[in-house]
Amino acid sequence: MRQRNKPWADDFLRENTDLIIPNANEYKNKWKDLFGNDSPIHVEIGTGKGQFIVGMARQYPHINFIGIELSKSVIVTAAQKVQESGLSNIRLIQENAENLLELFMENEVDTIYLNFSDPWPKNRHEKRRLTFRTFLERYEEVLHPSGELIFKTDNRGLFEYSLVSFSEYGLLLKEVSLDLHRDDDPENIMTEYEEKFSAKGQPIYRCKAVFN
Ligand code: SAM
């Protein structure tokens, strides 16, 4: 994701704490209180500029969406999109997904989305991939037993790696699409990266998996 330095980002974060939640670990096991309802919690990791989470929150008003994004200069763009949407079922957290267990209690999350995660193609960077075993351990902990992990990417290498990683971990693959747009899921919401790569004719891969 292209990251321009945004000198106003710090001020924006300070002024919009209702949307980009500071000290988000204080809401562990209390996210439903923050939203003020009992709707399911869906978490997107690596939210980027926010197109997916806003589209999903509009399509599913009875689901609460939380976007986790590492980059300050990227998350402020997502936050602006959320503000323009006027939707109240989205919150954002500027955090590294490594710290997921500090943010959510066991079983607190109903679905996790990984969209176009950084591929980290070098072997020595394997541990940074969001589908590496140690991340799967965290997802298993916070996901409800019936919860789903939904992963989309244009990167065939990362997709193949992730399918193996999921299977070795013991995840059950519920759906695997090797060309999501040709399979034509009318409910699919495109991310920024998805639009960019599919416009170039690249197939989009998607996997839905559950922890047994
Ligand atoms: N999901 C968006 C999309 O599909 O358009 C953005 C994809 S971009 C390739 C990956 C995003 O994940 C970047 O914005 C990056 O900052 C974020 N990211 C990477 N590693 C992360 C981590 N460990 N925790 C949270 N966000 C992360």
Name the domain count of the chain: 1
Looking at the domain assignment, is residue 113 inside a domain? Answer: yes
Residue 193: domain span: 37-211
Looking at the domain assignment, is residue 13 inside a domain? Answer: no
CATH code, domain carrying 92:
3.40.50.150
Looking at the domain assignment, is residue 26 inside a domain? Answer: no
- How much distance in Å is there from the Cα of 145 to the middle of ligand 1? 25
- How much distance in Å is there from the Cα of 12 to the middle of ligand 1? 20
Given a cut of 90, is residue 39 above it in pLDDT?
yes
Backbone angles phi, psi at 200, to 5 degrees: -85, 5
Looking at the domain assignment, is residue 105 inside a domain? Answer: yes
Looking at the domain assignment, is residue 131 inside a domain? Answer: yes
Distances (CA, A) of 41 to 30, 120, 150, 153: 11, 28, 14, 22
Active site residue 179: no
Catalytic residue among 11, 18, 33, 118: 118
Give tens-digit pLDDT for 85-137: 999 999 999 999 999 999 999 999 999 999 999 999 999 999 999 999 999 99
What number is the ipTM of this complex? 0.99
State if residue 193 touches ligand 1 by the CB under 6 angstroms criterion: yes
Looking at the domain assignment, is residue 19 inside a domain? Answer: no
Whose CA is closest to atom 15 on ligand 1?
A: 46
